[in-house]
Structure formats: structure tokens, C-alpha cells
Amino acid sequence: MIAGRPWFRVLSLVLGFAFLYVPIVSLVVFSFNESRLVTVWGGFSTKWYGALLDNQQIIGAALLSLKIAAITATVAVVLGTITGMALARFGPFRGRTMLSGMATAPLVMPEVITGLSLLLLFVTLEQLIGWPKGRGMTTIIIAHVTFAMAFVTVIVQSRLAQFDESLEEAAQDLGARPAKVFFLVTLPIIFPALLSGWLLAFTLSLDDLVIASFVAGPGSSTLPMVVFSKVRLGVSPDINALATILITIVAIGVAIAGVVMSRQQKIRDRDAQMALAANQQMIESLKKG
């Protein structure tokens, strides 16, 4: 009786996933199209990939974006992990409500507001203290870290809420200082969450158009900025080729992350079982003795 109407559930899934995936599939398919008209099939060709690789502007922007994304993700994971730990484990402290508010608001804040406000901050700071000198990679990274760390915080916080605090308490009872507990107990357990937080921050940064447009300076056009100015003029098949490359990278990345995580989960499960078995044995021997 809980099943309800199976055909309705299957139908909603099929239609929903078709809606989500048809555009992505169409991007990939038409990247191999001979014709310049993106949606009219003119035969198989990989020439748009060649055109893409010859486009120095796109390659340069892609390299800049990758660099920004890697630095952003790393800083965002550090700051987001601290925030998540503080919110989930530090108990009540002065400023907790404010920290929690500032850490979740960027999740929903419209990008145009974040972008504009950060640009005005950078301009004001430059007038007051002479830093940051002009705008470019540094300002983009700061802006990206600020909104990406909110996502890392949520991931870390929910992971910490899931796992049993008694493990950390046990380490503390055995005399480990809080920093040691964190590095030897908490960190290994939440590592998969940090990995997915890093990947998410990386993609968010790689993907952002609006905020980067506000805080970028001349000569620091990121990949989405270049793509946007190209796409505004209409469809062009080399952008499809770019999309296909990005989708492939993401798919591979997600697959690797999935394998790593499930393997870690298996190791942890086995360790937990062994610990339980050892415990059981000890109790048995104590009973006998």
C-alpha cells in the first residue's frame, strides 16, 4: 500500500530525467556536427575540437579559470571546514548566530548583489589602504572563496551531524588535545565530505560568470566571461566542443570520487567490524577469566 501508483512514479522519473538530460546530450551530439548550423546534422566531424584548441583566447581563459578554481577550492575547504566544525561542534559561543547567518546567506544571495558589493568593497579598500592594487586574479579568488565556502560549510556541517560524537569524546578521554582529536579522528572521518566540498567549490568557481564579471579587471577574463560574450552573439559549435570536454572531465572526476569514497567506506566498515569483533572477544575472555 505504500507503493502508491508505481506507473506514476516511473513516469515522473522518466520525464524529469529526460528534461534534465536532453539538453546536455544535445550539446554533446552537436559538438560532433560537421555543419556550422548547430542543430542541423551535417555529418560526423571533430573539426570544432580543432578550432577550439586553436582559439588562444579560450585556452588562455580556461587556464586562468582552472588556476582560480584550484586555489579557490583549497582555501574554501579550509575556511568552510573550520566554519562547519565551529557550528557543529564548538557548542554555543559568542558570535555563533552571526557566523551561522553569514555562512548560509551566500548560498541564496543573488549573484548580482554579491558581485556588486564585493567590487565596491575592493574599490573602497584600494582608495583607503591601496590594496588590492587593481582587480584581477586575487579579487576573483577572494570573491569565489566567499561564496564557495558557504557550500563547503553546509557539506561539512551535515557530515558532522551524521557521525557519532562519542568517537571524538573517546579520543579526548584518552588524553588527546582538541587539535590532535581533530587531525587524527575527525579529519579522516569527514575526509570524503571535504573531497566533495573541494570538487563542488572547484566547479562553482569554474562556473561563475556574474560575480567574476564584477570583480575582474581588464585582462583577467575567465572562461565563463569569454563563453558568455561569444554565446550572446548566437550558438557556435566550438562552444559545444568545449561543453563536451568539460562534461567528460566532470563525469570522470565524479566517477573517481565515487570509487574512492565507496572504497574508503568499505575500509571503514571493515575496521568497525574488526573493532567490534575484538571487543566481543575481549568481553568473552573477561567472562571466562
- Within 97-126, the residues that bind other proteins by CB under 8 A are 98-113, 116-118, 120-121, 123-124
Residues 42, 60, 134, 258: which binds other proteins (CB under 8 A)?
258
Residues 132, 212, 214, 216: which binds other proteins (CB under 8 A)?
214
Which of 187, 278 has the CB closer to other proteins? Answer: 187
Which of 71, 145 has the CB closer to other proteins? Answer: 145
Listed residue (38, 63, 157) closest to 104, CA to CA? 157
Residues 56, 127, 166, 285: which binds other proteins (CB under 8 A)?
127
Give yes or no for a contact between 145 and 69, defined as CB atoms under 8 angstroms apart.
Answer: no
Which of 213, 283 has the CB closer to other proteins? Answer: 213
Cell of residue 74, nine digits: 583549497
- Closest CB 202 distance from other proteins, rounded Å: 10
- Closest CB 32 distance from other proteins, rounded Å: 14
Q: Which residues contact 79 (CB under 8 A, 6 or more apart)?
A: 145, 149, 152
Rg of the chain on CA atoms, in Å: 24
Give yes or no for a contact between 89 and 172, defined as CB atoms under 8 angstroms apart.
Answer: no
Angle 183-158-71 from CA coordinates, rounded to 5°: 60
Touching other proteins, residues 55-84 (CB under 8 A): 79-80, 82-83
CA–CA separation, 244 and 28 (whole Å): 5
* Side chain identity, residue 119: L
- Residue 265 binds other proteins (CB under 8 A): no
Give yes or no for a contact between 195 and 159, defined as CB atoms under 8 angstroms apart.
Answer: no
Which of 3, 174 has the CB closer to other proteins? Answer: 3
Touching other proteins, residues 140-169 (CB under 8 A): 142-143, 145-146, 149, 154, 157-158, 160-161, 165
Which of 68, 279 has the CB closer to other proteins? Answer: 68
- Closest CB 279 distance from other proteins, rounded Å: 26
CA–CA separation, 88 and 80 (whole Å): 12
Q: Is 51 exposed, middle or buried (0-12, 13-18, 19+ CB in 10 A)?
A: middle
Residues 91, 130, 175, 218: which binds other proteins (CB under 8 A)?
91
Look-up: residue for cell 542543430? 39
Touching other proteins, residues 19-58 (CB under 8 A): 19-24, 26-27, 30, 37-40
Given the rule CB under 8 A, which of 3-11, 43-51, 55-63, 66-74 is the region that contacts other proteins?
A: 3-11
Residues 71, 77, 86, 190: which binds other proteins (CB under 8 A)?
86
Listed residue (174, 199, 180, 201) closest to 260, CA to CA? 199
